């Protein structure tokens, strides 16, 4: 089951680091970095059903952002 509750240590530090990691990248490089990060973390998780659940959750979140 996908955990959508805050579970990351130092969440503010994580977010700041993520944003800083994009500094100096073009838009296409930033998108490529995000895609690489998704694939790396998906490989780490390793559970396809859980990853599908996360993708669906992320899509619903994106659709609500407009």
Give the DSSP H/E element, type plus range, for residue 12.
Answer: helix 11-21
**Residue 63 pLDDT exceeds 90:** yes
Instruction: Report pLDDT for 36.
Output: 99
User: Considering only CA atoms, which of 53, 31, 30, 29 is closest in space to residue 42?
Assistant: 53
pTM for this prediction: 0.86
Domain-embedded: residue 9: no
2-35 pLDDT, tens digit each: 999 999 999 999 999 999 999 999 999 999 999 9
Number of domains within the chain: 1
Domain-embedded: residue 41: yes
Domain around 37: 24-64
Q: How many CB atoms lie within 10 A of CB 42?
A: 15
Domain-embedded: residue 31: yes
Domain-embedded: residue 10: no
Q: What would the mean pLDDT of 60-65 be, rounded to a whole number?
A: 94
Q: How many CB atoms lie within 10 A of CB 51?
A: 16
Domain-embedded: residue 2: no
Cβ(30)–Cβ(22) under 8 Å? yes
Measured distance CA(15)–CA(55) in Å, rounded: 20
């Amino acid at each position: 089951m996908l955990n959508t509750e805050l579970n990351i240590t130092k969440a503010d530090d994580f977010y700041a680091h993520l944003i800083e990691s994009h500094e100096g990248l073009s838009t296409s490089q930033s998108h490529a970095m995000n895609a690489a990060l998704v694939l790396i973390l998906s490989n780490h998780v390793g559970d396809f059903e859980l990853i599908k659940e996360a993708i669906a959750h992320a899509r619903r979140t994106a659709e609500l952002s407009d």
